[in-house]
Amino acid sequence: MLIQKPNDISPSEITSPEVYRERRRFMQGMGVLAAGAALGVAPNAHAGIKLAGIRDSVYKLNEEQTPYKSVTTYNNFYEFGTGKSDPADNAGRFKTRPWTVTIEGEVGNPGEYDIDSLLKLAPLEERVYRMRCVEGWSMVIPWVGFPLHEIIRRAAPTGNAKYVEFVTLHDSRQMPGQRSRVLDWPYVEGLRLDEAMNPLTLMVVGLYGEVLPNQNGAPIRLVVPWKYGFKSAKSIVKIRFVEKQPLTAWMKATPNEYGFYSNVNPQVDHPRWSQSRERRIGEFFKRDTLMFNGYGDQVAQMYRGMDLKKFF
Partner 1 sequence: MPIFLRNPKFWIAVVCLLPLARLIAFGFSGGLGANPIEFITRSTGTWTLVGLMVTLAITPLRRLSGWAGLIRYRRMLGLFTFFYVCLHFVTYIWLDQFFDPAAIVKDIIKRPFITVGFSAFVLLIPLAATSTHAMIRRLGRRWQQLHRLVYAIAILGVVHYLWLVKKDLTEPLIYGAVLTLLLLMRLPWGVVLLQTIRNRLVSAGAWQGSFQQNRKSG
**Residues within the interface to partner 1 (CB under 8 A):** 69-70, 73-74, 78, 82, 84-85, 134-135, 137, 180, 182-183, 253-254, 269, 272-274, 277, 279, 281-282, 284-286
Residue 290 Cα distances to 69, 227, 252, 266, angstroms = 25, 11, 27, 6
CB of 207 to partner 1, least distance (A): 15
Tell me how far apart the alpha carbons of residues 312 and 306 are, in angstroms, rounded to a whole number: 10
CB atoms near residue 45 (< 10 Å): 20
Residue 63 burial (10 A CB sphere; 0-12, 13-18, 19+): exposed
Distance CA 80, CA 215 (A): 8
Q: How far is the CB of 186 from partner 1 (least distance, A)?
A: 16
Q: Least distance to partner 1 from the beta carbon of 135, Å?
A: 6
**Identity at 243, one-letter amino acid code:** E
The nearer residue to partner 1, 36 or 110, going by C-beta atoms, is 36
Name which of 253 and 308 has its Cβ closer to partner 1.
Answer: 253
Left if phi > 0, otherwise alpha if psi is -120 to 50, otherwise beta: which for 292? left
User: Shortest approach of partner 1 to residue 74 CB, angstroms?
Assistant: 3
Question: Which of 103, 105, 122 lies closest to 113, judged by CA?
Answer: 103
**Between 26 and 273, whose beta carbon lies closer to partner 1?**
273
Of the two residues 198 and 215, which places its CB atom closer to partner 1 in the complex? 215
**Exposure class string for 255-289: b at 16+ Cβ within 10 A, else e:** eeebbbbbbbbbebeeeeeebeebebbeeeeeeeb
Nearer to partner 1, 155 or 175 (CB): 175
Nearer to partner 1, 160 or 254 (CB): 254
> What is the H or E stretch that residue 70 is in?
helix 68-73
The minimum distance between CB 185 and partner 1, in angstroms, equals 13
In angstroms, give the least distance from the CB of 202 to partner 1: 23
